[in-house]
Amino acid sequence: MWFLSLLRHTRLPSQAATLLQTLVVLFVSPRLSKPSTIMLKTLACGALTFAGLYVGFKKVLKLTFTRWSDADVLIVSERLIDAVHASLATTAGIITVTSCKDVMRDSHWVLTSFMVFGYPYSAIDLYASYMSHYHTHRLRGDTMYNRHSLNTLKGFVSSYWLTVLHHLAVLGIFLPVGVFFRRGLGDFFVGCLFITELSVAFVAISKIIVQVGLANTRLHKINSILLLVSFMICRILIFPYMYWKYGQDFDIPLHKVPSHLPWHCNVGNLAILVPQVYWFYLQLKKAQRVFRHKKLN
């Protein structure tokens, strides 16, 4: 292709040139135009985007905050890609929910596209979480963390088993079910689940605020309030909203909706909702500590 030839003769850093050539092959080549290859393009784009952001954030933070340890840089980089993904997922969810008038049959292309695009994020975030855990323990002088080993991996899994389980479930269940087994039905409800990611952005911002030494500021207090409000609306109240919306479309009273749904739909929603209530309780305790500490000061 003429554009690839031009790139080869352009004076660019080797890494940047390689990345540009990869993107051109993925998104311009006429050989990759079938639906299956379009999905591969989207998947590759997501992998390049989130991996590139993670590497880029690490480099920028290391150059900007020269006194930060490797653990500080990795933790903030991880939280930044969390915030980016949460913002994109929420946007995709809002677009889908507001576009679908029929909650069962209407669909929007942005939903399936983002499901594929955002899929690599779970694997990258799992890796980033492990690296943050590893370097944090290494900074504390834990001798087991002098090098990577099966024991350090076990330590990470035992400390963050719920996070690991969540990411593996997304990787092994969410994409196959969401893309291949829904038969194009229920984009509205999947969009609602994407909206639950909004609170993740505020969780990430909260941890970044603490990491940069602003824990005792008004900014942290405001973010804590936004976190609780977004968590309550987008992760708890959104479930009765979905049942209400389904009832509105099919002229069913809210209290009778569960009996009109397949049992596995109710069980699945309950399995998602119960952890949200527990996490909301934990967020309340954290917010209480933030306000109590500020009051003491």
Q: For residue range 8-48, what is the model confidence (pLDDT) as tens digits?
A: 444 444 544 454 444 444 444 444 456 678 888 899 999 99
- Cα 65 versus chain centre, distance: 25
What is the model's pLDDT at position 16? 46
- Say how far apart CA 63 and CA 221 lie, in whole Å: 29
* Residue 185 DSSP symbol: -
What is the model's pLDDT at position 115? 92
Q: Region 91-99: what's the mean pLDDT?
A: 95
Prediction pTM value: 0.82
Tell me how long the chain is: 297
Assign 295 a pLDDT band (cuts: 50, 70, 90).
low
182 or 248, greater pLDDT: 248
Assign 92 a pLDDT band (cuts: 50, 70, 90).
very high
What is the model's pLDDT at position 277? 92
What is the model's pLDDT at position 195? 95
What is the model's pLDDT at position 252? 93
Side chain identity at residue 267, one-letter code:
V
- Say how far apart CA 25 and CA 1 lie, in whole Å: 9
User: Which residue matches tokens 């527990």?
Assistant: 278
Q: Region 270-277: what's the mean pLDDT?
A: 89
The H or E element that residue 142 is part of is: none
pLDDT digits (tens, 9 = 90+) for 118-139: 999 999 999 999 999 999 999 9
Phi-psi map region of 199: left, alpha, beta (phi>0 left; psi -120 to 50 alpha): alpha
- Say how far apart CA 253 and CA 278 lie, in whole Å: 28
pLDDT digits (tens, 9 = 90+) for 203-250: 999 989 988 888 888 898 999 999 999 999 999 999 999 999 999 999
